Chain A
Amino acid sequence: MAHSFRFLDDIALADLAFQAEGDSVLELFRAATGALLETLADPSTVAATWARKIEHVCGTPDELLFEWLSDLVYWKDAAGVVFHDADLCVVHEGTTWTLAAVLRGALVDQTTQTLRSDVKGVTKHLYEVTQQGAHWYARVVIDV
């Protein structure tokens, strides 16, 4: 199983955009999570001293990904943290998609962490999640 992401240069002049892809919906979520974590801070400089369990149920994978990425932005502000990593589990049953996640990170510390952009939100501008064969793609524009 593989996933990757890349930042897109010319999608959002004043903000940031990325394309994430994976061999499954789970891998797509891992890729998009990695992109957002990297936008906020270098995860390798962030400890895992804070953790939060998060669960979402949605009708489609694109709704689920949007809710999940928005959660990362929420906890960044509400708890004053940046993130190290996340354990993700995505289950598709009937008409529902369920995400169970454990998000790990640490309180912001400007002396030890390499901090980057303070993401204000995930937007619906040009937002899409698509499937081509067994491969999944997402394009996400984030407001910074």
Chain B
Amino acid sequence: MKLNTDMRVNRVTDEVWEIPMTEKSGMLVPARIYATPGILQTMDRGVFDQVTNVACLPGIARYALCMPDGHWGYGFPIGGVAAFDVKSGIISPGGVGYDVNCGMRLIRTDLTLDDVRSKLERLMAELFRRVPAGVGAAGFVRLNRDSFEGVMTRGARWCIEEGYGWHRDLVRIEEGGCIAGADPSTVSDHAVGRGINQLGTLGSGNHYLEVQVVASDHVFDPDTATALGITGQDQIVVMVHCGSRGFGHQVASDYLKVFEKAMRRYGISVKDQQLACAPFRSPEGQDYFSAMNCAANTAFANRQVITHQIREAFATVFGISAEELGMELVYDVAHNIAKVERYPEGELLVHRKGSTRAFGPRSQDLPRVFQQTGQPVICGGSMETGSYLLVGTDRAVHETFGSTMHGSGRTMSRAQAKKTISGEQLQQAMRRRGILVKAVSMSGLAEEAGFAYKNISEVVETVDRAGITKKVAELRPIGNIKG
């Protein structure tokens, strides 16, 4: 098998591959990649280089992992998972990603495709008007420093208190939409300046708001789907993919600088400057963890305000309230975050970068509503091919620190995608296939063409067969909003 690496890669199973510690000087644990042979062959060289660099970081437990949607990232690969002992290990912004708590949210409705088809044009226009996207877009929520601190510390709870959502939404958000230990004093004025006007905005790049349909022949686990509110009778659902916007990015950039200096003080050397880190228990490590939690809460709040606007848009177009339309949250889950969790090794700081938490049924960390099903996992594909709803498993908890994939993963650069198709051509081609796209930037739209991504179905099959997540339903796009 021809791979984009000179390192030895051993087969563990048809979906799990291991790079032994002998393949790179300084590796403290082996690296493991979840992929079918076909996906493994398409993985770029950066995946192999970076996952083995991560395996060299102090305090790493068991394995450095990469999921099947993995590709090159800054420091850690996208799709990377690494857990560090909280006493002897490190924390690294490169293991969280610049867009702290970039994540996915899924909202169900009682509407069917027949209900929406004739109103789709108007619905997408209303969503496009209410959910700002693209360069420099500001949200409608006006914040001062005090209220922004409320967002940082209380996340989605702050939104509910302000009327942007329903109290019962909280139980369907990872961590109840509010991570403890967020101290605004650890956040720079620069970060506040970038974030204070952006609450309720999508951003651009691969972020989107998508109206989707769930057909009955695309439901793989009817019982679990029903328990999660998915009927599968050409049901309309809405997916949101975005994060903490400029605020989270500034937090990461600020602490990369802090950690570059801290590493010298703590005698830590890394194989890539973007792996800059500090001992988790050090003052610098704790400050970053706190600031990262501020950004994570801001991201939960961002998706909550967007949800409020989505509900308002649907209510306007269909002339009845969002509650009457059955617009309940299915789940909201992060895929760029670091969290302290308990495993057989003890308390570990699990970094997930382009990877989703996937706790199984009966997990003590899940609310009662998910005790039977396991935690919902939302994986976004390209805007042309569709997305998936899955659930976590016990096996994920045992094998991958309760983690799985997050999306389809790019295979083509943005520059190459733009050379292959224009935004206008793509928009027209998608309209002919029944997908209505509204975009702020046509060049940005071209960069997100479906052919620039892996086949998400193959990626999902990998984690399903590996047993670290189980498929529930496939969601097909009919409308998409991009920055």
Contacts and interface: CB of A to CB of B under 8 A. Distances in A.
Contact of A76 (B44, B99, B136, B440): B136
Contact of B483 (A9, A81, A107, A118): A118
Contact of B44 (A13, A81, A110, A120): A13
A116 B443 contact: yes
B135 A76 contact: yes
B371 interface: no
A81 B135 CA distance: 8
B271 interface: no
A10 B204 CA distance: 21
A144 B136 contact: no
Given A118-B204, A123-B274, A143 B414 contact: no
Interface stretch (B32-40, B160-168, B193-201): B193-201
Given A118-B203, A120-B98, A120-B249, A110 B410 contact: no
A45 to B, nearest CB: 12
Contacts, number: 115
A40 interface: yes
A15 interface: yes
Interface string A81-124: 11000000000000000000000000110100001111011011
A73 B245 CA distance: 12
Q: A41, A108, A118, A143 — which one has the most chain B CB atoms within 10 A of its CB?
A: A118
Nearest to A124: B273
Contacts of B411: 13
A12 interface: yes
Contacts of A74: 190, 193-194, 250
Interface residues of A, number: 35
Interface residues of B, number: 46
Contact of B136 (A108, A120, A125): A108
Contact of A117 (B98, B135, B190, B193): B135
B51 interface: no
B444 A78 contact: no
Given A108-B137, A120-B98, A16 B71 contact: no
B193 A14 contact: no
A77 B246 contact: yes
Nearest to A123: B74
Given A117-B443, A144-B204, A110 B134 contact: yes
Nearest to A113: B135
A87 B249 CA distance: 27
Interface in B247-272: 249-250, 252-253, 256
B205 interface: yes
B415 A7 contact: yes
B78 A40 contact: no
A15 B444 CA distance: 11
Nearest to B439: A115
A8 interface: yes
Interface string A123-144: 1110000000000000000011
A118 to B, nearest CB: 4
B205 A125 contact: no
A58 to B, nearest CB: 13
B71 A41 contact: no
A80 interface: yes
A11 B44 CA distance: 12
B5 interface: no
A70 interface: yes
A125 B249 contact: no
Contacts of B274: 123-125
Contacts of B137: 80, 108, 118
Given A8-B415, A77-B194, A123-B74, A143 B444 contact: no
9 contacts: A9-B413, A9-B415, A40-B135, A76-B135, A78-B194, A80-B138, A118-B205, A120-B99, A120-B203
Top 9 A-B pairs ranked by shortest CB distance?
A108-B136, A118-B204, A77-B246, A77-B194, A78-B193, A120-B249, A118-B135, A9-B415, A115-B135
